[in-house]
Amino acid sequence: MSDAPPDQGDYRPEIATATEVRPLTATERLFHLILPHRALGHLPGQFVQVSLPGIGEAPISVSSSFTRTSGFDLCIRRTGNVSEALHRVKAGGRVGIRGPFGCGAPLEKCMGQDVLMIAGGLGLAPLRSLVQYICDYRDRFKKVTLLIGARTPETLLFADEYNAWRNEGKINIEATVDTAKKGWTGSVGLITNLIPQIEIWPTSTVVVACGPPIMYRFVMRKLQQRHIPDDRIYLSLERRMKCGMGKCGHCQINDVYVCLDGPVFRYDRLAALPEAVS
Amino acid sequence: MKEKFLPGERVEDLAEYLSQRYRLWAPAAKEGAFVFAQVVDAGDISMDYSTTLLPPKHAFLPTAEILASVDLQTGEADSVRPDDPPPAIFGVHPCDLNGLARLDQAMREPPADAAYHRANAGAFIVGLACLKKCRPEAFCDSTETFRPNGHFDLHLTPMEGGFWTSVQSDAGRALADDTGLFEVPTDRQRAEYEHVRRGIETTFAGRRLNLKTLAADLPKIYPHRMWEKLAERCFSCGACTAVCPTCVCFDVRDEMSDGCRTANRCRSWDSCLLKDFAVVAGGENFRGRRAERIRHRMMRQGSYLARRFGLPVFCVGCGRCPHVCLGKISPLDVFEQCQKEVGSGVGRAA
Ligand SMILES: Cc1cc2nc3c(=O)[nH]c(=O)nc-3n(C[C@H](O)[C@H](O)[C@H](O)COP(=O)(O)OP(=O)(O)OC[C@H]3O[C@@H](n4cnc5c(N)ncnc54)[C@H](O)[C@@H]3O)c2cc1C
Ligand code: SF4
Ligand code: SF4
Ligand code: FES
């Protein structure tokens, strides 16, 4: 029968070295990884499959832009079997990498436009790669705004980088937390509360949001109140993943595969996918 | 395509020839039913078999297999099964030929599954025509999968004295020349084969589906109470997907073996009917309700995958799932009811 050679799609990981490991919060760690034979060659919004031999594999977004250094960053939250084991990896340790997978954020569409990024919790991990890209090619974009929401000030990710993003990247950053003790000078409340306060030109703004499903429900309502057309809004979706190549069926949402066709989807396209945002 | 005649008494020789060069799978009787088994003795093959319990899918996509493994002491990664001969499947009925073609299409669509490709490169398939419907639940007539579809190397049609043999591929041609088992058909044999072929068309003429619109019709009944009704009959057991030639979902797990000296990446069959299929870390389940899971399977079989691969329907009408389902859930009934609601059905056409 037909024996056309496969163009990619192997399950054997490449072995990357963690050159730097740094705790970000009590539950998140940032890993800087280097592949032996190549640059990862990813776009903002894409993800990799990270594994430890015999332990398991997990999809993790790339947290850095390809415009920075030779390696790449992964920000990993400790939640279960694989991520727990990954948190025990020290600098100099090795992890398996497959990918990059998915089609990433809409860079072309953002060029020459105002960009509004909305990051809920761990959602800042993937968006950081877009933030870095924008900082590195700042003149390709107009007004850039980043809204960040977290449970508490201690759980804010990459807080030590906001100043650089503000000053060098000329990004307008608003961070809010659900609850705060004394000493927090930023806003308190849900991320949705920030949306009515910012200046938005609906027809020249592109929105890229990343956060938990519950956040999308409320964020979408606010964005629609601000008259942003659905075809200018992009959401990044999470699903269970095994293969990363449209085969195993785990990440399927109706007739699309998040691992191939996503994880970033244009909102008007999601309207045809009732399983996407319920 | 070349045509040959295989005298009936030489079937075992053909199987014998294949078993020496391939991992040969063929229909064999087992405990009152039929299965595709790895054949040791060509005499065990049943050429007159009715639908097997499982389709021959497992010859290409084993129920469990190792995709990659690493020796943790040396750090050396291994590709698996490098020395195994490729699989051959003997005596595959048309529904299953169509099933194997769909499996192949799904696994080879770019990005192609490299492990599947490695294990199955050079595989050989011998089809076997059905002259009548094998069981009442089968609906290969409605899905138009009662014809072989070209996804074979050789295809045998039973007739007086032996088998009309269609030779499809270079590998098939080479085998026919090499074995010397085949004869040049006579004009009388050609005429008889034509008669048999027309007989098959007449026997399988009953259509209960309008295949022109099915893939577009199903999404129209996405919100519908029938899914809840079906859910009342479904046990989420996953039997339907296990016996299905075109259900190809799988799980991948990393495991230690050999006293933690070797790390294996293992693939095993999975089922979108099982409760946890779409659960992510943190516990959110994106298809937590049974009705949603049944609907997803029916949509995959009747619409999603059909459209993805440019086919009228993905299900091949083998009838295995209604046969094993405790709740007697049949894709044919679902598809037919859908077309009744949408107003595009054909009724029981002649
Ligand atoms: C596109 C995408 C991007 C993501 N980006 C990030 C990110 O940047 N940072 C982040 O922290 N999280 C991210 N996640 C979530 C992350 O993938 C999960 O938190 C992670 O899978 C948790 O794995 P776990 O094993 O620790 O958790 P568990 O709850 O133990 O397991 C979760 C899943 O891992 C799989 N698994 C467990 N054991 C094994 C095994 N032995 N072999 C194979 N598989 C096994 C299972 O399928 C299970 O469903 C992302 C998810 C997606 C889909
Ligand atoms: S075989 Fe029947 S009962 Fe079992 S999961 Fe499939 S539809 Fe449900
Ligand atoms: S859905 Fe049922 S009838 Fe259709 S191919 Fe699969 S097992 Fe056969
Ligand atoms: S992860 Fe397997 S199909 Fe997407």
pLDDT in tens, A231-265: 999 999 999 999 999 999 999 999 999 999 989 99
Mean pLDDT of B47-69: 92
Mutational pocket test of ligand 1: of A63, A64, A79, A124, the residue with most ligand atoms within 8 Å of the beta carbon:
A79
Same domain assignment for residues A32 and A166? no
The C-alpha atoms of residue B15 and residue A263 are separated, in whole angstroms, by: 48
Local structure of B30: helix, strand or coil: strand
Same domain assignment for residues A247 and A134? yes
Q: Is B134 exposed, middle or buried (0-12, 13-18, 19+ CB in 10 A)?
A: middle
Whether A171 and A134 have beta carbons less than 8 Å apart is answered as: yes
Is the distance from the beta carbon of residue A86 to the nearest atom of ligand 1 less than 6 Å? Answer: no
- What percentage of chain B carries pLDDT values higher than 90? 79
The per-residue pLDDT for A2 is 45
The CATH number of residue A60's host domain is 2.40.30.10
- State which of B203, B235, B253 marks the end of a domain: B203
Whether B278 and A240 have beta carbons less than 8 Å apart is answered as: yes
Q: Picking from A17-26, B21-30, B273-282, which range would have the lowest pLDDT averaged per residue?
A: B273-282
Output the average pLDDT for chain B: 92
CA of A256 to the centre of ligand 4 (A): 10
Of A2, A54, A83, the CB nearest to B254: A54
The Cα of B152 is separated from the nearest Cα of chain A by a number of Å equal to 7
Same domain assignment for residues B177 and B218? no
Nearest chain A residue (CA) to B259: A54
Same domain assignment for residues A160 and A240? yes
Task: Examine residue B254 and state whether it is found in any structural domain, yes or no.
Answer: yes
The per-residue pLDDT for B153 is 97
Same domain assignment for residues A126 and A176? yes
Task: Examine residue A192 and state whether it is found in any structural domain, yes or no.
Answer: yes
The per-residue pLDDT for A185 is 85
What confidence category does residue B349 fall into, taking pLDDT thresholds of 50, 70 and 90? very low
The per-residue pLDDT for B96 is 97
Task: Examine residue B296 and state whether it is found in any structural domain, yes or no.
Answer: yes
Could you tell me if residue B337 is left (phi over 0), alpha (psi between -120 and 50 degrees) or otherwise beta?
Answer: alpha
Local structure of B267: helix, strand or coil: strand
Same domain assignment for residues A79 and A159? no
Same domain assignment for residues B156 and B273? no
CB pairs under 8 A between A and B: 140
Same domain assignment for residues A88 and A196? no
Same domain assignment for residues B219 and B282? yes
Task: Examine residue A2 and state whether it is found in any structural domain, yes or no.
Answer: no
- State which of B146, B179, B203 marks the end of a domain: B203
The per-residue pLDDT for A76 is 98
Task: Examine residue A4 and state whether it is found in any structural domain, yes or no.
Answer: no
Q: Per residue in A190-200, pLDDT tens?
A: 999 999 889 99
The per-residue pLDDT for B82 is 58
Whether A181 and A211 have beta carbons less than 8 Å apart is answered as: no
Nearest chain A residue (CA) to B123: A1
CA of B306 to the centre of ligand 4 (A): 18
Nearest chain A residue (CA) to B78: A12
Task: Examine residue A3 and state whether it is found in any structural domain, yes or no.
Answer: no
- What percentage of chain A carries pLDDT values higher than 90? 85
ipTM of the assembly?
0.91
Same domain assignment for residues A119 and A220? yes
Whether A189 and A178 have beta carbons less than 8 Å apart is answered as: yes
Same domain assignment for residues A166 and A264? yes
> Which residue range is the domain that position A120 belongs to?
107-270
Of B153, B254, B296, the CB nearest to A56: B254
- How many folded domains does chain A comprise? 2
The per-residue pLDDT for B86 is 92
Same domain assignment for residues A42 and A68? yes
Positive/negative CA dihedral, B102, A6, B92, B176:
positive
pLDDT at position B28 over 80: yes
The C-alpha atoms of residue A21 and residue B194 are separated, in whole angstroms, by: 72
Q: Per residue in B169-219, pLDDT tens?
A: 999 999 999 999 999 999 999 999 999 999 999 999 988 999 999 999 999
Task: Examine residue B40 and state whether it is found in any structural domain, yes or no.
Answer: yes
Is the distance from the beta carbon of residue A81 to the nearest atom of ligand 1 less than 6 Å? Answer: yes
Same domain assignment for residues B95 and B115? yes
The per-residue pLDDT for A69 is 77
Same domain assignment for residues A89 and A116? no
- DSSP-derived pairing of the beta strands A256-257 and A14-23: unpaired
What confidence category does residue B234 fall into, taking pLDDT thresholds of 50, 70 and 90? very high
The per-residue pLDDT for B40 is 79
Is the distance from the beta carbon of residue A217 to the nearest atom of ligand 4 less than 6 Å? Answer: no
Whether B280 and B223 have beta carbons less than 8 Å apart is answered as: no
- State which of A51, A72, A101 marks the end of a domain: A101
List residues bridging with A28 in a β-sheet: A77
Positive/negative CA dihedral, B333, B339, B345, B347:
positive
What confidence category does residue A181 fall into, taking pLDDT thresholds of 50, 70 and 90? confident
- State which of A101, A121, A138 marks the end of a domain: A101
What confidence category does residue A120 fall into, taking pLDDT thresholds of 50, 70 and 90? very high
Q: Per residue in A160-169, pLDDT tens?
A: 999 999 998 8
| A165, A168, A171, A176 alpha-carbon torsion, rounded to 10° | 30
Same domain assignment for residues B186 and B324? no
Task: Examine residue A166 and state whether it is found in any structural domain, yes or no.
Answer: yes
* Cα distances (angstroms) measured from residue A215 to each of A61, A121, A174, A223, B144: 19, 10, 16, 12, 46
What confidence category does residue B118 fall into, taking pLDDT thresholds of 50, 70 and 90? confident
Is the whole model's pTM more than 0.90, yes or no?
yes
- State which of B148, B175, B203 marks the end of a domain: B203
The per-residue pLDDT for A148 is 96
Residue B144 phi, psi (nearest 5)? 55, 45
Same domain assignment for residues B157 and B233? no
Q: In B168-285, where do the E strands start and end?
A: 250-257, 262-269
> Which residue range is the domain that position B102 belongs to?
2-203
Same domain assignment for residues B99 and B136? yes
Name the residue with higher pLDDT: B343 or B142: B142
Task: Examine residue B47 and state whether it is found in any structural domain, yes or no.
Answer: yes
Task: Examine residue A9 and state whether it is found in any structural domain, yes or no.
Answer: no
Mean pLDDT of A210-226: 92
Is the distance from the beta carbon of residue B254 to the nearest atom of ligand 1 less than 6 Å? Answer: yes
Q: What percent of chain A is helix, strand and coil (3-state, nearest 5)?
A: 25, 30, 45
Mean pLDDT of B219-248: 94
Distant-in-sequence, close-in-space partners of B326: CB < 8 Å, separation ≥ 6? B235, B237, B239
The Cα of A242 is separated from the nearest Cα of chain B by a number of Å equal to 6
Same domain assignment for residues A87 and A131? no
Look at residues A158, A160, A191, A161 and name the one whose alpha carbon lies nearest to residue A174.
A191
Mutational pocket test of ligand 4: of A101, A243, A254, A256, the residue with most ligand atoms within 8 Å of the beta carbon:
A243
Q: Which residue has the tokens 């860079």?
A: A107
The DSSP 8-state label assigned to residue B249 in this structure reads: -
- State which of A49, A78, A101 marks the end of a domain: A101
The per-residue pLDDT for B347 is 58
The per-residue pLDDT for A6 is 43
Q: Per residue in A50-85, pLDDT tens?
A: 999 999 999 999 999 999 878 999 999 999 999 999
What confidence category does residue A5 fall into, taking pLDDT thresholds of 50, 70 and 90? very low
Same domain assignment for residues B199 and B218? no
pLDDT at position B1 over 80: no
The CATH number of residue A165's host domain is 3.40.50.80
Task: Give the CA radius of gyration of chain A.
Answer: 19
Q: In chain A, where do the E strands start and end?
A: 14-23, 28-34, 47-52, 56-61, 72-77, 94-101, 114-120, 144-150, 171-177, 187-188, 205-210, 233-236, 252-253, 256-257, 264-266
Nearest chain A residue (CA) to B301: A255
Task: Examine residue B208 and state whether it is found in any structural domain, yes or no.
Answer: no
Same domain assignment for residues B191 and B301? no
Task: Examine residue B347 and state whether it is found in any structural domain, yes or no.
Answer: no
Task: Examine residue A132 and state whether it is found in any structural domain, yes or no.
Answer: yes
Same domain assignment for residues B224 and B324? yes
What confidence category does residue B142 fall into, taking pLDDT thresholds of 50, 70 and 90? very high
- How many folded domains does chain B comprise? 2
Instruction: Supply the residue whose CA is at minimum distance from atom 7 of ligand 3.
Output: B244
Same domain assignment for residues A112 and A247? yes
The C-alpha atoms of residue B308 and residue B152 are separated, in whole angstroms, by: 22
Same domain assignment for residues B299 and B191? no
The C-alpha atoms of residue B56 and residue B18 are separated, in whole angstroms, by: 16
What confidence category does residue A1 fall into, taking pLDDT thresholds of 50, 70 and 90? very low
Same domain assignment for residues B227 and B172? no
Q: Do A1 and B250 touch (CB under 8 A)?
A: no
